[in-house]
Structures are given as structure tokens and as C-alpha cells.
Amino acid sequence: MKIPYVMTPGPTQVRENVRMARAMETTNPDLDLQFYDYYRDTCERIGKFLKTKNEVRILSGEGILGLEAACASLTEVGDRVLVIDNGIFGEGFADLVKIYGGEPIFFKGDRQKEIDVDELRRFLEKDSNFKYATVVHCDTPSGVLNDVSKICPLLKEKGIITVVDSVSAMGGEELRVDEWKIDIVLGGSQKVVSAPPGLTFLSISEDAFKTMESRRTPIASFYCNLLIWKDYYKNKWFPYTPPVSDIMGLRAAVDNLLEDEDILDRHKRIGKAVRRAVEKAGLSLYVKQGYSNTVTVIEVPKGIDDKKLRNYMLDKYNVLISGSFGYLEGKVIRIGHMGENARIDRVSYTLFALQRALEHFGYILKCDIVNEFLKEQ
Ligand SMILES: *Cc1c(COP(=O)(O)O)cnc(C)c1O
């Protein structure tokens, strides 16, 4: 296998110390009591980077498991759930709510803009009878970034439990779980965190645990049941054997994040410079307001086939970027500049490959996109 230069919005490149951590000798994590401390300590480090004192749990499965575990654990048949939707992942929450018998009620926003908080406030003044609400921090297929610092406190004011999918944002965008009153926030190992795919982790507030404990009916899942994880440390019992090597890798990746004091600013600088360079070169950004600093989504110029463009970048320069899916399939390409990929050298080389590929297919850029990107670095 020839490993490409992975510049997708997750999975990302994995640093050597994370790969090495995954190669360490392992133990029996159920019977070796040291592992309960190792697991708890890893959760506390995750809590530190999420800026929360809430309980954190790491589950064996990638981001989607985190989404489903939150919905499975909170939803009872007939519950009204507010689904804040301005993108593919936003909308997708409704399917999970329905699987567990809930009734999703949509608050829909413009798909090219961040959620309008004033509009949401007006909506909630008319109807706020929801058990919980779901919102996506960065909706990765479109690159829209929602302002959860305003959305979550507003929901909480109305007594609504908040569930935030921050899989592709946390670590690269500001996230203050306690200050912003987020009951459940979930992430994945393979995005900004920059470990391989395989793990999800969630921080769970006391209110969220209380909501689960006061259910009338039991949680209709075992693997997605967050409540059975509540007292794992006291009971020295895991619901299933934790994937030791994955967790060792995740811990190294989280330590990398905690040590990297420039990480948020670097994402901001790089995100902004990519957007500026793209626009100066004559290309269009898909998002019109509420830009993510972890992924840039670019409209495919008329007459160009996005698959051919991406294949050319891969064949000729070994650079792997993404297309998108759902209503965006074929319409946009996506460059991930998150985590280990939020580096000037990696982004420059990617933009170079993009420019060459566009030129190959007859699209002439208005400026040298790499020079433009480098101007403000
Ligand atoms: C990546 C991602 C997930 C996890 O989904 P996969 O496609 O299975 O990796 C969930 N939510 C968001 C916003 C994501 O970007």
C-alpha cells in the first residue's frame, strides 16, 4: 500500500508518537486494575482539552457511535427532540432520534450559513418543549461552523439538554464545554485529534446522567448505553473489553494537543489564509458565513469533474483530498487542514497540487494560489 499525503477532513495524518503508542505492549484491561486508572486518567486529559469537569467516556467505535450513544441513551418513545439542521450531519441526527422512537422536530437553517441564533431564539419562544436538542459544531460535508457558544446556553436556558457533535471541530476550534453549558459533546479519534479511526469519546454532564436515570423505560441498546459506563471505575467493570492499543494511541494524540499551545491560533491562521487564497485565485467557497477553520469547502468550477480532478491530484502528486456527499456530491471538493494537517508545508503542497490539477483540466487561476496562501503566514 502506498500511503498518500492524506489531506481529507478526517481521517488525518497520524504523528509518529501516536503510531508508536499503539505498538506498545498491552495488558488485559478488564483484569489488570491498573488499566482502570489509565483509562480514567486518559478521560481526564480529554476533559482538560474540552474544558470540562464533566465525566468523559471513551467508546470503541468511531464518531457515529458517539452520536448514536447520545441519542439511544436520552431518547424514549414519544420524546420530542429538537434537531438543529443546516447540513448533512445536522439532518442525520433525526434518523437516530427516530430509531429510538423519538419525534424529531426540525429547526432548519440556511445550508451555506451558520445557524441564526436570533431566529432560533424566536423559534424557542413559541415552542421549547423538547427533552434535548442536537446541533453539529462543524458540519464537515459543507464546512459550516455553528456558534455553539451561543446556541447551547440559549437551549439550556429553556431547560433543554444539549447534544453537540463536535467530531470535526474540537481541538481545532474553541470549545468550552462547561462555560457553554454543553451536556453531551462527542468527538472522534480520526479528525483534529489525529489518531486513526476507531474511537469516539463523550463528555456527559450530571444533568444528562440524571435524564438517563429518570427514564420511564430502559435504554434500548447495550453497546450505545452510556448509563452502564457511569460507575465503571467504582465497580472496576467495563461493559466490554476496551481496545487497549487504540486508547494508548488516543492518549498520545490528546497529549500532543494539550502540549500544542498554538493549535487554535494556527487553525485560525491557516483556515483564513486558505479561504483568502482560494477566493483570490477565482474559486468560490461553498460557505457564505460561519467558516470552519478545520476544513475548506470549494465549489467545483463549471465544466470540471470533481472525481477526475481529485484522481489527478492523487495519481500525479499523491495528494488525497475529498469530494462530498448527499446534496453536495460532485459539487464541491474539500481540503482538511485539521490537527496534524494544519501545517503550512502540508497545506502549501496540497494547494500546489490543486492548482496543477485545475490547470491540467483547463481552469486558469487568477493568481498563484500557494504564493497567496503563504503571504500571511
Ligand atoms: C467524521 C464525522 C463524524 C463521524 O462520521 P464518519 O463519517 O463515520 O467518520 C460525525 N460527525 C461529523 C460532523 C463528522 O465530521
Q: What is the pLDDT of residues 132-189, one digit of tens each?
A: 999 999 999 999 999 999 999 999 999 999 999 999 999 999 999 999 999 999 999 9
Average pLDDT over residues 356-367: 97
CA of 353 to the centre of ligand 1 (A): 26
Q: How far apart are CA 29 and CA 240, in angstroms?
A: 10
Report the share of the chain in percent with pLDDT over 90: 99
Ligand 1 close to Cβ of residue 62 (< 6 A): yes
Which of the four pLDDT bands, split at 50, 70 and 90, describes residue 39?
Answer: very high
Q: How far apart are CA 291 and CA 164, in angstroms?
A: 18
CA of 63 to the centre of ligand 1 (A): 5
What value does the CA radius of gyration of the chain take, rounded to a whole number of Å?
21
Residue 109 has pLDDT above 90, yes or no: yes
CA of 196 to the centre of ligand 1 (A): 13
List own/partner pairs for 23-32 with CB under 8 A and 24 or more apart.
23/245, 24/245, 24/248, 26/244, 26/245, 26/248, 27/244, 29/238, 29/241, 29/242, 29/244, 30/237, 30/238, 30/241
Average pLDDT over residues 25-53: 98
Residue 36 has pLDDT above 80, yes or no: yes
Question: Which atom of ligand 1 has the smallest separation from the CA of 197?
Answer: 9
Angle, CA of 86, 63 and 197, to the nearest 5°: 130
Q: How far apart are CA 220 and CA 77, in angstroms?
A: 10
Helix H or strand E encompassing 26 = none
Question: Which atom of ligand 1 has the smallest separation from the CA of 11?
Answer: 9
Which residues sit in the known binding site? 334
Average pLDDT over residues 232-242: 98
Task: Single out the residue of 228, 196, 202 nearest to residue 68, CA to CA.
Answer: 202
CA of 34 to the centre of ligand 1 (A): 32
Q: What is the pLDDT of residues 289-322, one digit of tens each?
A: 999 999 999 999 999 999 999 999 999 999 999 9
**pLDDT in the model for residue 212:** 98
Residue 376 has pLDDT above 80, yes or no: no
Question: What single string gives the DSSP state of each residue in 129-179?
Answer: --SEEEEESEETTTTEE--HHHHHHHHHHTT-EEEEE-TTTBTTB---TTT
Q: What is the pLDDT of residues 254-271, one digit of tens each?
A: 999 999 999 999 999 999
All structural domains of the chain: 5-9+262-375 (3.90.1150.10), 16-259 (3.40.640.10)
**pLDDT in the model for residue 173:** 98
Ligand 1 close to Cβ of residue 10 (< 6 A): yes
Q: How far apart are CA 112 and CA 313, in angstroms?
A: 27
Task: Single out the residue of 180, 106, 194 nearest to residue 149, CA to CA.
Answer: 180
Residue 377 has pLDDT above 90, yes or no: no
Q: What distance lies between CA 282 and its chain's CA centroid?
A: 29
To the nearest whole number, what is the mean pLDDT of the chain? 98
